[in-house]
Amino acid sequence: MITALSNTTLTAGSSYTVTGKQLSGLTQGASFGDDEQADTNFPLVRITNTSMSNVFYAPTSGFSRSIAPGAASSTSFSVPAGIETGAASLAVIANGVAFDPVSVTVATH
């Protein structure tokens, strides 16, 4: 669940922080014997343009890795270049499950 967004007006090339609960999901991933330990619990940020329905993904960094139920967490994300401007929705996805989106506006510089 998203509880706060550092700014609801986003600009391409800028970075923002989103906070919430369980942004890293409830599981940590998969393992393959002693060969591989692959975490899958990093948050993805998806921005969907409201009028065109085009989807853009924003790279995330500095995210919390706690999977404790109800754990407060946060992640920083960078709005990609070439993103469409106007009304949009922003959702965080963890382990393939999208949280309810929040409304944002993507503005020009």
Residue 1 has pLDDT above 70, yes or no: no
Lowest pLDDT segment from 22-26, 28-32, 40-44: 28-32
The CATH number that applies at residue 55 is: 2.60.40
Query: CA 49, CA 6: separation in Å to the nearest integer?
Result: 19
Question: What is the structure's pLDDT at 62?
Answer: 82
Boundaries of domain holding 81 = 2-107
Q: Which of 89, 93, 64, 90 is nearest to 76 (CA)?
A: 64
Q: Which two tokens stand for residue 107?
A: 């503005």
Q: Which of 24, 65, 29 is nearest to 44 (CA)?
A: 24
Q: Quote the number of domains for the chain.
A: 1
Residue 24 class from Cβ within 10 Å (0-12 exposed, 13-18 middle, 19+ buried)?
buried
| More confidently predicted of 46 and 98 | 46
Name the pTM for this structure.
0.81
36-74 per-position pLDDT tens digit: 655 556 788 999 999 999 999 999 888 766 656 667 778
Residue 2 has pLDDT above 90, yes or no: no
